[in-house]
Chains A and B, each alone.
Chain A
Amino acid sequence: MHSAVQLIELGAIILALGLLGAVSVRFSISPIPLYLIAGLAFGSGGILPLTDSEEFVSIGAEVGVILLLFTLGLEYTAPELVGTLRTSAPVGLADLVLNAAPGVAVALILGWGPVAAVAMGGITYVTSSGITAKVIGDLGWLGNKETPAILSILVFEDLVMAAYLPILTALLAGAGLLGGAAALGIAAATITVILFIALRHGTLVERFVSSPSEEVLLLKVLGLTLLVAGIAQQLQVSAAVGAFLVGIALSGPLAHTAQKLLAPLRDLFAAVFFVFFGLHTDPADLPPVLGIAALLAVTGVITKMGSGWIAARRAGVATTGRLRAGAALVPRGEFNIVIAGLAVSAGISASLGPLAAAYVLMLAVTGPVLARGIVPLAERLRLKRARHRGPQTDDAPLPATLTDNTAQDATTGP
């Protein structure tokens, strides 16, 4: 029989997360850094260590990762993924090289070895699509011309994750280069099969899952996702990727309903995951890595600004839009922690966890702030080129063809 202490601890943790969430809503910031800090406070070496509910929290954290990836897969339909791969590959690759390089370099310089370098590359590379989407929505940037370019980069990064996570999982399991290649082969084959099913026979999956009852649909979708994730884990392809692929296979109105149904579950378990990561990071380990984390964060801002600049320029967007695209891509968040979580649980370098936590804490907070500040900055640059901004009416003289028509209308009256 479970002790009451476990329930009390669990309740206290979730209540604390709720209060932190309220703070994040009030100041319109991402709750992820707050959850991490809560985890640090409750974990080993924290101010209020909680240990009894750890079993639940660790399972909850795994479910959180699976649901994060599953809902990410739901966001995009298979044709969108394939289309983006065709059109944005050069920009996506530039983004990959620019942003993974600093992490890889730091891991190698610190002598953590090649496997840690692969993990660190992933940690500095991925933008938090959740935070970026929120920034774009909050600042009313959705209509801007650079937004399609930003979204394409996010889609491309997710595709890279689908290939990267299985490789990382294999490498972390100590499979070596050959095992890594085999894992990549299996992953590539699985992804191809799933994409094929989703593109050609998407209706089959949907017919199996769909149900007029929301309850039945929820259970079917959640069950299918966890099952596929577990099988993928067994095949050394990483549970997260399995869940991501299930998300892609579901599309259309069904995906929309599933997203709505699973969003509360995802929010709960994702929060548990961030706390879990914080729990396993000893706050005493943070100060020694702060310097490196700050250095990586500054580099991370510069390299993402570069990615945004390139992507927006390719879309034919001028300076202001290019700066906005870069700033929108700066935030790091959930997937960087997912990657670090995989590496930490495999027992890779002890400093990697704290470093990733500090890095994400810095960029998840400064990213949105930077995005808010970039437009006034760009505006000032533009105003320097001396232009007066009057009310935006359409008083400009009409082109000749239109004037003719209106003149005729005036004389021929009612």
Chain B
Amino acid sequence: MDVERTALPGIGLQHIMTTARGRQLGVISHRTGRRDLVVYDKEDPDSSIVTVALSADEASAIAELLGTGRVVEHLAELHRQVEGLVTQKIPITPGSPYDGHALAETRCRTRTGASIVAVVREGQVIASPRPDFVFNAGDVVVAVGTGEGTVAVTQILSNG
């Protein structure tokens, strides 16, 4: 990602950024503190199609919104690393050995150390399924454990 900086004599500065998808965005920083958010035409990158004038306060509010998301993602990533835990979604395919069988029969926790914490069935989340819960093809099992453990659960559910 590169940001191009150009001086606008008498006005201020122009910064233009090209995204990974090839779109161009610009910010014009006026000396007065005003900021213009500029979106460039996809087909003619020389032309701006939208220019939104922002006051200093509005600009920092937007900057905060754009910046906060990244901070949260970053924290989540950190959390994952610290815990060493992985959450995996595993579908029950029609050929699965446990299609029509109870959760207890998989003996997942004993064999892998990973736990099945939820099952998604027809868009609904069934949290903490009991040992007598019967799997159907099309269910999505949510397992939590170490990286190895969750991979092993995937193996068990598809191959037995």
Partner of A256, one of B7, B32, B38: B32
Complex Cα–Cα for A256 and B31 (A): 8
Q: Please provide the chain A residues from 77 to 130 with a CB less than 8 Å away from any CB of chain B in the complex.
A: 80, 83-84
List the 7 closest pairs (A to B, CB-CB), nearest first.
A143-B38, A143-B48, A321-B46, A75-B10, A145-B46, A80-B9, A155-B9
Contact B46–A152 (Cβ < 8 Å) = no
Q: Is A317 located at the chain interface by the 8 A CB criterion? A: yes
Q: Please provide the chain A residues from 261 to 319 with a CB less than 8 Å away from any CB of chain B in the complex.
A: 317-318
Query: What band does the interface of chain B fall in when counting residues whose beta carbon is under 8 Å from A?
Result: 35 or more
Binds A, one of B54-62, B85-93, B102-110, B130-138: B85-93
B119 partner residues in chain A, CB cutoff 8 A: none
Contact A402/B46 with A142-B11, A413-B89 known, Cβ cut-off 8 Å: no
Indicate with 1 or 0, residue by residue over A132-144, a CB within 8 angstroms of chain B CB atoms.
0100000011111
In the complex, what's the smallest C-beta–C-beta distance from B4 to chain A, in angstroms?
10
Complex Cα–Cα for A155 and B80 (A): 55
In the complex, what's the smallest C-beta–C-beta distance from B128 to chain A, in angstroms?
16
B7 partner residues in chain A, CB cutoff 8 A: 80, 83, 148
Contact A320/B47 with A154-B9, A396-B22 known, Cβ cut-off 8 Å: yes
Contact A151/B11 with A399-B20, A412-B88 known, Cβ cut-off 8 Å: yes
Contact B9–A392 (Cβ < 8 Å) = no
Q: Which residue of B is nearest A413, CB measured? A: B87
Q: Is B148 located at the chain interface by the 8 A CB criterion? A: no
Binding site for B on A (CB under 8 A): 75-76, 80, 83-84, 133, 140-148, 151-152, 154-155, 256, 317-318, 320-321, 382, 387, 389, 392, 394, 396, 398-399, 401-402, 411-414
A80 partner residues in chain B, CB cutoff 8 A: 7, 9-10
Contact A145–B43 (Cβ < 8 Å) = no
Partner of B21, one of A83, A152, A398: A398
Q: Which residue of A is nearest B51, CB measured? A: A140
B86 partner residues in chain A, CB cutoff 8 A: 412
Indicate with 1 or 0, residue by residue over B1-35, a CB within 8 angstroms of chain A CB atoms.
00000111111001010011111001010011000
In the complex, what's the smallest C-beta–C-beta distance from A398 to chain B, in angstroms?
7
B31 partner residues in chain A, CB cutoff 8 A: 256
Contact A76–B9 (Cβ < 8 Å) = yes
A144 partner residues in chain B, CB cutoff 8 A: 46-48
